[in-house]
């Protein structure tokens, strides 16, 4: 009976019904653990998905004495067995299990240890030890039936951990001796092999004496196995143990917000793709080569643009608020920030009272904090650190090719080491950058660019007497449709929403690429929705594509470690969501927003005189600043704001999008414009509108605008937003042509 149960148990384990034993097919595909790597489209290594400091090396780089030291101390019959040493196993059963002699040594072969390193043990309650041991025997036998002894040794040395953040022999050689594996001396190799018994106990930096004793034991075992002579052993053991420590630095990576976004994309890919063995790929073990759409040269321009403008804005923000707390009117902001901090959560979990937690939070400690001039080492209380973090303005930026969807630059924040929120995917209120969707729906439904609408306050009883106001509180006269978009007039925009219908606007916005559920409220037309920069950029591709939206593309090619290209789902062919005529009208209208309207600083402050369209957006209380723009071959978008919307500039002058978000785009495009490598993105004009489309812009009426009062053309264009009941000559910059 017991014998039968044992046989069933053995068969169950052998065929991997407990889940850990690899199949023969999997064993054939066994490789060294290798980090997957992310590359830009210009072939720059952006990131390595490694959890450990591991550098793989081939067998030829492993000195002979290192192999002999390993075999002598860990598996002296390595060349005589096929993964399981039955002689050693019987010794363990008799001496260790039956006679309780713990000094008799273990029975695990190098191959079994390799399995344990590569496939972490599972818990099977009281059966954990026998099941895991037998699983390792089965897997070791399978490994040795498919690989040579030399390959097993290579796998082992590249897999084994050495402590002190060193994984694999190459990392260990660098960590403890500042050298490469191929240059290790015999006594250094014996130290490292000796550590495998207990990496902490025999750490040569922490415990040099214990490490030397263990080293000498390994050398003695090498002598017993006839790998070295007794005389040579004596001469080597006389050498003092000398380490030369080197701090191992993990691969820091580039464009980290982007590569984290790639990781999330890859998680989805990993769920839907399998190896030939049927198992999932592992991003941290399978050495995939991931080629992305990002252009690293453009990425550097984007990061510089964000860094430059945010430093200026932060200075202005701090100067405006001075010693006041920007959250003074919303103290809950600080309360929530404290309770969401890791320190507070840790103290709370430990059972401390609120009083003791507050005492701890007010106690100064040494820490490193972010600044726009570089990280600063300071002594500061955790509470003051939280307050300091709350005051920072943040930004997101995206550059994307409208025809391909390729993301060419991606900045998710000001510093990923201190601020993990990705503001390219975080949703915030979009303000007037939503208005082009309203106008596109209006044009598609028969509204003409020269149709005139009054600039008056209107109460809408169907919306509980809602009375939308202009941001400048100036009314009177009338606007053409294109003029209202150029000046971002709320009163006219809402009238267009009423004419077209809210549901048609929502439906079109979704078709253009907005995936967030849009609220069916009239304030949606003025930008009440909370959307991400990524989906706004996606939706704006519709404009330079004349009605055809393009979904973003990040992954261009994925290859396995053998260089075989793996499957990536193709981008679906987009269909036009509005007519070619509407497309031409919207491009012309958004072009005029930049050349003659609210976004004119992009053109004149940054010397960008080619064809550019776009729209700013400023949310309630200047909490969010947006600009999304486009040329024929590039869509660019930026968002600026604090992490909490309750924190913002005091005034519209400093907080409006034309001062916060738009200049980031301007800086980026100016740098791009000066680089001959990127002429494609800025030197191609929009296609010439048809004669019928151009006729639609021959308006006879005039736009009500203020009299020019500033010296520069850009200032005149900005002044034209402060609408007054003044009629000025037709040749003014803001007069309809």
Tokens describing residue 685: 């004009």
Of the candidate ranges 265-274, 435-444, 445-454, 543-552, the one whose mean pLDDT is the lowest: 265-274
pLDDT at 724 over 90: no
Q: What is the residue extent of each domain of the chain?
A: 2-30+53-237, 393-719
Q: Give the pLDDT confidence of 132-150 residue by residue, as tens digits.
A: 677 778 877 888 888 889 9
Q: CA angle, corner 223, sides to 220 and 229, nearest 5?
A: 130
Report the pLDDT value the prediction gives residue 366, as an integer from 0 to 100. 93
Per cent of the chain over pLDDT 70 is 86
| Predicted pLDDT of residue 50 | 82
What pLDDT sits at residue 55?
80
Say if strands 530-532 and 427-429 run parallel, antiparallel, or are unpaired: antiparallel
Residue that has been written with the tokens 């006879």 in this structure: 700
Collapsed DSSP state (helix, strand, coil) of residue 579: coil
Q: Longest C-alpha distance within the chain, in Å? A: 108
pLDDT of 611 over the 70 cut: yes
Burial of 342 (0-12, 13-18, 19+ CB in 10 A): exposed
9-18: long-range contacts at Cβ-Cβ below 8 A with a sequence spacing of 24 or more?
10/134, 13/131, 13/134, 13/135, 13/138, 14/134, 14/138, 16/135, 18/122, 18/124, 18/131, 18/135
Is CATH 2.60.40.10 the classification given to domain 393-719?
Answer: no
Helix (H) or strand (E) holding 158: helix 149-159
Across the range 434-459, mean pLDDT stands at 97
Residues near 340 by Cβ (< 8 Å), separated by ≥ 6? none
pLDDT range class, residue 91, cuts 50, 70, 90: low
Q: Which long-range contacts (CB under 8 A, 24 or more apart) does 460-464 make?
A: 460/494, 460/498, 460/522, 463/522
Measured distance CA(609)–CA(549) in Å, rounded: 26
Question: Exposed/middle/buried for 715, CB within 10 Å: 0-12, 13-18, 19+?
Answer: middle
Average pLDDT, the chain: 87
pLDDT tier, 84 (very low <50, low <70, confident <90, very high otherwise): confident
Q: 2-30+53-237: what fold?
A: Penicillin binding protein transpeptidase fold (1.10.3810)
Residue identified by tokens 């979009």 is: 430
Q: State which of 156-160, 476-480, 710-714 shows the largest mean pLDDT.
A: 476-480
Token look-up 């923000």 returns 317
pLDDT the model gives residue 31: 73
pLDDT at 6 > cutoff 60:
no
Question: Higher confidence at residue 526 or residue 129?
Answer: 526
Closest CA to 655 of 700, 611, 625, 632: 625
For the ranges 294-308, 444-458, 683-697, 706-720, the lowest mean pLDDT is seen at 706-720
CA 164 to chain centre: 28
Q: How confident is the model at residue 203 (pLDDT cuts 50, 70, 90)?
A: very high
Q: Write down the pLDDT at residue 516.
A: 97
- DSSP code of 200? T
How high is the pLDDT of residue 707? 32
Condensed to tens digits (0 to 9), the pLDDT of residues 613-635 reads: 999 999 999 999 999 999 999 99
Q: What is the pLDDT of residue 53?
A: 72
What percent of the chain lies above the pLDDT cut of 90?
A: 69
> What are the residues facing 628 on neighbouring strands?
615, 637
Please give the model's pTM, rounded to 2 decimal places. Answer: 0.82
At 20, the pLDDT band (50, 70, 90 cuts) reads low
Residues 6+ apart with CB under 8 A from 28: 146, 277
Q: Is 70 exceeded by the pLDDT of residue 95? A: no
DSSP string, 345-388: HHHHHTT--HHHHHHHHTS-EEEEE--TTS-EEEEE-HHHHHHH
Least confident range from 16-30, 318-332, 414-428, 665-679: namely 16-30
On the question of pLDDT at 704 being above 50, the answer is no
Q: What is the pLDDT of residue 107?
A: 64
As a whole number of angstroms, the distance between CA 152 and CA 131 comes to: 23
What's the CA gap between 673 and 681, in Å, rounded?
8
List the structure tokens of 646.
């309750």
Cα distances from 313 to residues 320, 572, 602, 625, 714, in angstroms, run: 10, 40, 17, 12, 20
What CA–CA distance (Å, rounded) separates 690 from 697?
Answer: 12
Mean pLDDT (whole number) for 699-718: 39
């Amino acid at each position: 009976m017991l014998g039968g149960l044992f046989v069933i148990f053995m068969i169950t384990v052998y065929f991997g019904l407990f889940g850990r034993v690899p199949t023969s097919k999997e064993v054939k595909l066994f490789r060294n653990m290798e980090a997957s790597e992310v590359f830009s489209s210009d072939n720059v290594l952006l990131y390595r998905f490694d959890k450990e400091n591991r550098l793989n090396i081939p067998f030829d780089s492993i000195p002979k004495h290192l192999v002999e030291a390993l075999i002598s101390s860990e598996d002296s019959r390595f060349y005589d067995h096929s993964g399981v040493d039955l002689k050693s196993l019987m010794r363990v059963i008799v001496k260790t299990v039956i006679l309780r002699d713990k000094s008799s040594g273990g029975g695990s072969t190098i191959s079994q240890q390799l399995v344990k390193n590569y496939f972490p043990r599972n818990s099977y309650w009281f059966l954990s030890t026998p099941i895991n041991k037998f699983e390792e025997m089965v897997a070791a036998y399978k490994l040795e039936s498919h690989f040579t002894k030399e390959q097993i040794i290579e796998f082992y040395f590249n897999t084994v951990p050495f402590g002190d953040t060193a994984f694999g022999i190459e990392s260990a050689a660098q960590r403890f001796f500042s050298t490469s594996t191929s240059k290790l001396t015999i006594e250094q190799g014996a130290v490292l092999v000796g550590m495998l018994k207990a990496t902490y106990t025999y750490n040569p930096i922490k415990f040099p004496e214990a490490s030397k004793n263990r080293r000498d034991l390994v050398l003695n075992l090498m002598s017993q196995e006839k790998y070295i002579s007794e005389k040579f052993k004596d001469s080597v053991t006389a050498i003092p143990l000398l380490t030369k420590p080197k701090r191992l630095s993990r691969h820091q990576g580039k464009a980290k917000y982007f590569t984290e976004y790639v990781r999330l994309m890859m998680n989805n890919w990993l769920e839907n793709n399998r190896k030939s063995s049927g198992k999932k790929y592992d991003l941290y073990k399978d050495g995939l080569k991931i080629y992305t759409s990002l252009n690293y040269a453009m990425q550097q321009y984007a990061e510089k643009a964000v860094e430059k403008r945010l430093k200026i804005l932060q200075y202005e923000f701090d100067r405006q608020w001075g010693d006041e707390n920007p959250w003074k009117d919303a103290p809950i902001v600080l309360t929530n920030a404290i309770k969401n901090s890791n320190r507070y959560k840790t103290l709370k979990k430990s059972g401390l009272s609120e009083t003791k937690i507050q005492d701890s939070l007010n106690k100064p400690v040494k820490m490193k904090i972010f600044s726009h001039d570089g990280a600063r080492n300071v002594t500061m209380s955790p509470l003051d650190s939280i307050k300091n973090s709350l005051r920072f303005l943040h930004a997101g930026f995206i550059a994307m090719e409208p025809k391909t969807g390729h993301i060419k630059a991606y900045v998710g924040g000001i510093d990923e080491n201190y601020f993990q929120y990705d503001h390219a995917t975080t949703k915030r209120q979009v303000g007037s950058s939503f208005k082009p969707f309203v106008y596109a729906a209006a044009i598609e439904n028969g509204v003409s660019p020269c149709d005139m609408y009054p600039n008056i306050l209107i109460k809408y009883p169907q919306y509980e007497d809602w009375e939308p106001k202009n941001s400048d509180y100036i009314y009177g006269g009338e606007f053409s449709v294109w003029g209202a978009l150029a000046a971002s007039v709320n009163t006219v925009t809402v009238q267009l929403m009423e004419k077209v219908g809210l549901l048609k606007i929502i439906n079109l916005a979704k078709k253009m690429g907005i995936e967030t559920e849009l609220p069916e409220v009239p304030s949606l037309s003025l930008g009440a929705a909370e959307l991400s920069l990524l989906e706004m950029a996606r939706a704006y591709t519709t404009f330079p594509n004349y009605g055809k939206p393009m979904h973003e593309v990040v992954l261009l090619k994925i290859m396995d470690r053998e260089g075989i290209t793996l499957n990536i789902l193709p981008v679906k062919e987009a269909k036009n969501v509005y007519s070619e005529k509407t497309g031409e009208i919207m491009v012309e209208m958004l072009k005029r927003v930049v050349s003659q309207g609210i976004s004119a600083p992009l053109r004149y402050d940054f010397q960008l005189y080619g064809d550019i369209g776009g729209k700013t957006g400023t949310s309630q209380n200047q909490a969010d600043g947006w600009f999304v723009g486009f040329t024929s071959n590039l869509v660019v978008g930026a968002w600026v704001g604090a992490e909490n919307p309750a924190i913002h500039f005091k005034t519209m002058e400093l907080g409006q999008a034309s001062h916060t978000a738009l200049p980031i785009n301007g800086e980026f495009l100016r740098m791009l414009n000066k680089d001959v490598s990127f002429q494609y993105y800025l030197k191609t004009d929009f296609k010439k509108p048809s004669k019928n489309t151009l006729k639609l812009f021959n308006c006879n009426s005039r736009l009500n605008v203020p009299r020019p009062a500033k010296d520069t053309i850009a200032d005149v264009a900005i002044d034209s937003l402060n609408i007054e009941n003044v009629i000025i000559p037709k040749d003014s910059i803001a007069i309809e042509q």
